[in-house]
Amino acid sequence: MKYVEVNFICNPNSETITDVLAAQLSDIGFESFVKSDSGMLAYVPEPMFSAGEIDGLLRDFFLDAEIGYSFKTIEDKNWNEEWEKHYFQPIVFENRCIIHSSFQQPGGDYGYRILIDPKMAFGTGHHQTTGLILKEILSMDLRGKSVLDMGCGTAVLAILASMCGAGPVTAIDIDEWAYRNAVENVQLNNISNVNVLHGGAGLLGTETFDVIFANINRNILLQDIPSYERVLNPGGKLIVSGFYKEDIPAIREKCVQNGLEYRDFSEMDNWVTVVFEK
């Protein structure tokens, strides 16, 4: 069967934008997704391709983004083989943690070995923001701490937190595709203390947390920081990412307004992760 490759140009080219776009495209027949320097490549069987459906999806896209696309027909391939060959290679953090798919068997002696079978190439640790928070987790003592992972995607952050001794761990994502994928990955890693929920900040109730990770775009963070502060225990840490270095002042101002103290930040290719404390 022939496939159509659609090249999406996203501005901004953020993980949140491409995650949501890929989830919506999967509802109209797209089967695989690969991150690109300008956005994302998406693949759909030729009989299911409809430019009209894509136009309608982009017209109703609810996030603040400019998205264009071009497309071409390509011959059928072994997509698992292509995925493994061209994109989802094992990735190692701090020589302590390796992330790979279930169809790979990399060697090496690592303290943490995480299996992730994503339906797209996001939330695997390859994106700068995910990688920054993974390194933050490895630097922390999470033993016995309650953790919330907002916008969990593949649940890779929640999984590593659990492996590092955190518990209980709650992982939340508003996208149904991400929720289902998170559940699958938690089970794949035989993790028993991660509770995956489908929804947004409105799910936050009386349960409180010692550490909150929120790898979400700038606008959602600014909207939901008051909700995070409300469920963060005194002395707890809020670790946010998904935005650029120039966005730090706005994020910092919102956090300070809500009783959180700025601690520090880390940076990779102008993407940042910022730590606040209550």
CA distance 68 to 8: 6
Q: Which structure tokens are listed for 25? A: 């495209």
Q: Name the 3-class secondary structure at 266.
A: strand
Report the distance separating Cα 153 and Cα 157, nearest Å. Answer: 9
State whether 48 and 181 are in the same domain: no
Residue 165 pLDDT: 95
Q: Which domain holds residue 16?
A: 3-83
Continuous segment of H or E residues that includes residue 23: helix 15-26
Please provide the DSSP assignment of 221-259 as one string.
HHHHHHHHHHTEEEEEEEEEEEEEGGGHHHHHHHHHHTT
Indicate if 186 and 268 belong to the same structural domain: yes
Per-residue model confidence as pLDDT tens for the chain (278 residues):
678 999 999 999 988 888 889 888 888 888 778 888 899 998 888 888 999 999 999 999 988 899 999 999 886 655 545 555 555 677 777 778 888 777 777 777 787 888 887 655 355 556 777 888 989 999 999 999 999 999 998 899 999 999 999 999 999 998 777 788 899 999 999 999 999 999 999 999 999 999 999 998 888 899 999 999 999 999 999 999 988 888 999 999 999 999 999 999 988 888 899 999 99
- Other C-beta atoms lying within 10 Å of the C-beta of residue 166: 25
Q: The CATH number of the domain where 79 resides is what? A: 3.30.70
Listed residues 49, 83, 117: the one ending a domain: 83
18 lies in a domain?
yes
Q: In this predicted structure, what is the pLDDT of residue 121?
A: 39
Residues 77 and 132 in one domain: no
Residue 94, SS3 per DSSP: coil
- Residue 92's SS3 state is strand
| 38 touches 65 (CB < 8 A) | no
CA–CA separation, 16 vs 53, rounded Å? 21
User: Domain with 247 in it: what CATH number?
Assistant: 3.40.50.150
Q: How many angstroms separate the CA atoms of 219 and 166, rounded?
A: 28
- Give the per-residue pLDDT at 15: 80
Give the domain-ending residue among 66, 83, 100. Answer: 83
Minimal CA–CA distance to 10: which of 48, 37, 32, 39? 39
The answer to whether residues 156 and 268 belong to one domain is yes
CA nearest to 272, candidates 139, 128, 138: 128
Residue 99 is assigned to a structural domain of this protein: no
Instruction: Report if residue 89 sits inside a domain.
Output: no
Please tell me the pTM assigned to this model: 0.72
Terminal-residue alpha carbon distance, the chain? 55
